[in-house]
Amino acid sequence: MAIRTLGIRQLAPTFAAEISRLNLALPLAPRDLTAVVEALDRYGVAVFPGQNLTMQQQIAFSELLGPLENSDEGSPTYQEFRREHEFADGRVSEVSNLVRGGDLLELADMRRLYQFANELWHSDSTFRPVRARYTILSAVKVPASGGDTEFADVVGAYDALPADIKEDIESLVGVHSPTAVMETLGALQADGGGFQSTYGLQRRPLVETHPGSGRRFLSVPSHCSHIEGMSLPEGRSLLFYLREHATQPRFRYRHAWTPGDLVVWDDRSTLHRACRYKERNEPRQLVRTVVQDR
Ligand SMILES: O=C(O)CCC(=O)C(=O)O
Q: Could you report the per-residue pLDDT of 111-121, keeping only the tens digit for each?
A: 899 999 999 99
The 8-class DSSP code of residue 106 comes to: P
Rounded to an integer, what distance in angstroms lies between the CA atom of residue 109 and that of residue 187? 12
Q: Is the CB of 288 under 6 A from ligand 1?
A: yes
Distance 274 CA to ligand 1 centre (A): 5
How confident is residue 252, by pLDDT bands cut at 50, 70 and 90? Answer: very high
Mean pLDDT, residues 33-59 taken together:
97
Q: Taking the complete model, does pTM exceed 0.85, yes or no?
A: yes
Range of the domain at 114: 2-292
Rounded to an integer, what distance in angstroms lies between the CA atom of residue 224 and that of residue 126? 8
Q: Is the CB of 115 under 6 A from ligand 1?
A: no
Q: Is the CB of 270 under 6 A from ligand 1?
A: no
* Mean pLDDT of the residues in the chain: 94
How confident is residue 83, by pLDDT bands cut at 50, 70 and 90? Answer: low
Contact 31, 3 (CB under 8 A): no
Q: What per-residue confidence (pLDDT) applies to 285?
A: 95
Strand duo 132-141 + 262-266: pairing: antiparallel
pLDDT above 70: residue 51? yes
Q: Give residue 126's region: left, alpha or beta (phi > 0; psi -120 to 50).
A: alpha
CATH number at residue 181: 3.60.130.10
Contact 144, 272 (CB under 8 A): no
pLDDT above 90: residue 73? no
How confident is residue 80, by pLDDT bands cut at 50, 70 and 90? Answer: low
Mean pLDDT, residues 77-105 taken together:
80
pLDDT above 90: residue 89? no
Q: How many domains does the chain have?
A: 1
User: Measuring from atom 8 of ligand 1, which residue has the nearest CA?
Assistant: 118
Q: Quick one: 6 exposed, middle or buried, by C-beta within 10 A (0-12, 13-18, 19+)?
A: buried
Q: What per-residue confidence (pLDDT) applies to 102?
A: 86
pLDDT above 80: residue 85? no
Mean pLDDT, residues 30-39 taken together:
96
What one-letter code names the amino acid at 5?
T
